[in-house]
Structure 1
Amino acid sequence: METSNPEHFFETDTQLAKRQLRAKKEENTFGDPIRISSKVLAVIPDPAQPYNSIFTAESGGRVSRINVETRSITAKYQGPTVPVTCVATGGPGNTLLFAGSWDKTIWSWDIGTRRPGRRYDGGHTDFVKAVVTARLGQRDLLISGGADKKIMVWDVATGRRLHTIQDPSATMMSLQSLAVDPVLSNADEVVLTSTSSDPFVRRWRIRQDGAELLPTEGPPSHRDQPPGAAERLAIEEHETSVYKALFDVAGDEVDLWTASADGTAKCLSRERNFTTDDVFEHGDFVKGLVVTDTWVATGGFSQDIKIWDRTSGKLAYILVGHFDEIADFALLRDPSGRQPDVLCSVGIDCTVRTWPLHKPALDAVVEKIRAAEESAQNGEEMKKESGDGDGLLTAEEEAELAALMED
Structure 2
Amino acid sequence: MLQDRYRVMRLISSQSGFGKVYEAYERNIPKILKVLKESHTLNAKVLELFQREAMVLSRLNHPGVPQVDVDGYFVYAPKGSHQPLHCIVMEKIDGPNLKQWMVQQGNHTIGEQQALLWLTQLADVLHLVHQQNYFHRDIKPENIMLRGSGQLVLVDFGAAREMTETYLAHLGASGITTVSSAGYTPPEQEQGQAVPQSDFYALGRTMIYLLTAKNPSDPTIYDSRTNALNWRIYAPQISQGFAHLIDDLIAPRAIDRPQTTEEVLQRLMAVRSAQSQPPPIMVEPVTVPEMPSWPTTTLGNSPEATQPQTTTQIEQPLQKRWIWSGVAILALLIGVPAVWSGVLRSRDTTPSASQPAPVQTVSLARTLGEHTGPIKALLLVNGNTLISGGVDRKILIWNLNQETPARILEGHKSVINTLALSTDQQTLYSAGADQDILIWDIASGQLKQTLPSAHDSPINALAISPDGKILASGSADGMVKLWDAETGELIEQLREQGPLVNTLLFNRNGESLIAGGAALETWNLQTQEETEFQASQNFINSLATSPDNQVLISASADKTVRFWDLATGDLVDTVTAHDRSVNDVVVSSNSLTFVTASADGTLVVWDMDSRQPIERLHGFDSDIYRYVEGPAQQVITTGGSDNTVKVWQKSSP
- Match for residue 20 of structure 1 among 233, 245, 248: 233
Deviation, structure 1 residue 243: 0.9
Question: CA-to-partner distance for each residue in 1:10-66, whole Å, 9 max, x for gaps?
Answer: x7663355532553999xx989688898xxxxxxxxxxxxx9xxxxxxxxxxxxxxx
In 1: Cα distance, 2:397 partner to 2:390 partner: 11
Deviation, structure 1 residue 177: 1.0
In 2: Cα distance, 1:25 partner to 1:295 partner: 35
Q: Does 1:247 align with 2:506?
A: yes
Would the aligned equivalents of 1:33 and 1:352 in 2 still touch at CA under 8 Å? no
Residue type at the aligned position of 2:484: R
Would the aligned equivalents of 1:32 and 1:354 in 2 still touch at CA under 8 Å? no
Deviation, structure 1 residue 304: 2.0
Q: Does 1:127 align with 2:415?
A: yes
Q: Which residue of 2 aligns with 1:212?
A: 489
Would the aligned equivalents of 1:34 and 1:351 in 2 still touch at CA under 8 Å? no
Relative to the length of structure 2, the TM-score reads 0.39
- Match for residue 299 of structure 1 among 535, 540, 555: 555
Change (3 A) 1:288 1:140: closer
Q: Does 1:285 align with 2:285?
A: no
Deviation, structure 1 residue 239: 2.5
Q: Which residue of 1 aligns with 2:89?
A: none
Would the aligned equivalents of 1:253 and 1:271 in 2 still touch at CA under 8 Å? no
Deviation, structure 1 residue 285: 1.5
In 1: Cα distance, 2:453 partner to 2:204 partner: 46
Question: CA-to-partner distance for each residue in 1:141-198, whole Å, 9 max, x for gaps?
Answer: 2211021000111122222211110357xx5211111111122x3xxxx421111112
Residue type at the aligned position of 1:256: L
Change (3 A) 1:24 1:240: closer
In 1: Cα distance, 2:369 partner to 2:238 partner: 31
In 2: Cα distance, 1:279 partner to 1:349 partner: 27
Deviation, structure 1 residue 71: 4.8
Larger radius of gyration: 2
SS of corresponding position for 1:23: coil
Would the aligned equivalents of 2:511 and 2:526 in 1 still touch at CA under 8 Å? no
Question: CA-to-partner distance for each residue in 1:292-349, whole Å, 9 max, x for gaps?
Answer: 13532223222222233446654343322433333222122426xxx3x32x222333
In 1: Cα distance, 2:464 partner to 2:395 partner: 18
Q: Which residue of 1 aligns with 2:463?
A: 179
More strand, by proportion: 1
State percent identity of aligned pairs.
20
Q: Which residue of 1 aligns with 2:279?
A: none
Change (3 A) 1:135 1:356: closer
- Match for residue 163 of structure 1 among 449, 462, 476: 449
Q: Which residue of 2 aligns with 1:89?
A: 380
Would the aligned equivalents of 1:25 and 1:321 in 2 still touch at CA under 8 Å? no
Aligned 1:145-164 pairs, distance under 5 A: 145-164=431-450
Question: CA-to-partner distance for each residue in 1:92-142, whole Å, 9 max, x for gaps?
Answer: x45321100211110111124444211001x11101111122267xx9222
In 2: Cα distance, 1:330 partner to 1:158 partner: 29
SS of corresponding position for 1:144: strand
In 2: Cα distance, 1:181 partner to 1:82 partner: 30
- Match for residue 325 of structure 1 among 581, 589, 607: 581
Would the aligned equivalents of 1:30 and 1:320 in 2 still touch at CA under 8 Å? no
SS of corresponding position for 2:407: coil
Q: Does 1:78 align with 2:369?
A: yes
Change (3 A) 1:198 1:14: same
Name structure 2 gaps, 5 residues minimum: 1-199, 209-215, 222-228, 240-292, 303-332, 334-358, 616-653
Residue type at the aligned position of 1:153: I
SS of corresponding position for 1:119: strand
Q: Which residue of 1 aligns with 2:477?
A: 198
Would the aligned equivalents of 1:25 and 1:323 in 2 still touch at CA under 8 Å? no
In 2: Cα distance, 1:179 partner to 1:71 partner: 32
Residue type at the aligned position of 1:354: V
Name structure 1 gaps, 5 residues minimum: 38-50, 52-67, 216-233, 366-407
In 2: Cα distance, 1:313 partner to 1:204 partner: 25
Aligned 1:365-380 pairs, distance under 5 A: none
| RMSD, matched Cα | 4.1
In 2: Cα distance, 1:120 partner to 1:243 partner: 24
Residue type at the aligned position of 1:14: T
Residue type at the aligned position of 2:441: D
In 2: Cα distance, 1:33 partner to 1:318 partner: 25
Would the aligned equivalents of 1:31 and 1:353 in 2 still touch at CA under 8 Å? no
Of residues 69-78 and 190-199 in structure 1, the stretch that sits farther from structure 2 once superposed is 69-78
Would the aligned equivalents of 1:192 and 1:205 in 2 still touch at CA under 8 Å? yes
Deviation, structure 1 residue 278: 5.7
Q: Does 1:110 align with 2:399?
A: yes
Q: Which residue of 2 aligns with 1:141?
A: 427
In 1: Cα distance, 2:448 partner to 2:512 partner: 29
Question: CA-to-partner distance for each residue in 1:342-394, whole Å, 9 max, x for gaps?
Answer: 2x2223333333345679548x99xxxxxxxxxxxxxxxxxxxxxxxxxxxxx
Q: Which residue of 2 aligns with 1:351?
A: 602
Relative to the length of structure 1, the TM-score reads 0.59
Would the aligned equivalents of 1:141 and 1:155 in 2 still touch at CA under 8 Å? yes
Residue type at the aligned position of 1:305: V
Change (3 A) 1:160 1:31: farther
Change (3 A) 1:324 1:237: farther
Change (3 A) 1:25 1:359: farther
More helix, by proportion: 2
Q: Does 1:256 align with 2:513?
A: yes
Would the aligned equivalents of 2:597 and 2:604 in 1 still touch at CA under 8 Å? yes
Residue type at the aligned position of 2:452: Q
In 1: Cα distance, 2:507 partner to 2:545 partner: 6
In 1: Cα distance, 2:525 partner to 2:553 partner: 20
In 1: Cα distance, 2:572 partner to 2:460 partner: 28
Aligned residues: 289
SS of corresponding position for 2:409: coil
Change (3 A) 1:312 1:34: farther
Q: Which residue of 2 aligns with 1:63?
A: none
In 2: Cα distance, 1:155 partner to 1:79 partner: 21
Would the aligned equivalents of 2:237 and 2:600 in 1 still touch at CA under 8 Å? no
SS of corresponding position for 1:20: helix
